[in-house]
Amino acid sequence: MATIELNEQNFEKTVTENDIVIVDFWASWCAPCRAFAPTFEAASEKHPDIVFGKVNTEEAQSLAAAFQIRSIPTLMIFREQVILFAQPGMLSPAQLEEVIEKVREIDMEQVREDIRKQQQEQESSQQQQS
């Protein structure tokens, strides 16, 4: 599957309806973004079961702001609607493959349990402060 353009209209639906979504936040004037594009495209061809999307930060400024993108390129990986990876900078093909394999191996039941525990601890802490 080739990469798809993500924007304010299709971003949430794409993340909600797909198991793994890898997002490249980029801009046309960004030389490192252009240099990373072939690596990202090649990975999308190698992993047809994963959605690879690109967010043009110039055209989708509200998305970039919502995810607090301060540097581009920034790579963000969602699995089952949970952000598991977010990092600015280019990755080599080998690094990108390693991240993809680690994301595939993560136990999402454990991730959701960890999130529940963190939320409970925050709620408990807030109640104690009031």
Q: Which residues are catalytic?
A: 30, 33
> Tokens representing 27?
């801009």
Angle at 116 between CA 103 and CA 96, to 5 degrees: 15
Q: What is the dihedral of CA 36, 40, 43, 49, to 10 degrees?
A: 170
**Beta strand spans in the chain (E):** 4-6, 20-26, 51-56, 74-79, 82-88
- Is 88:73 a contact under the CB 8 Å cutoff? yes
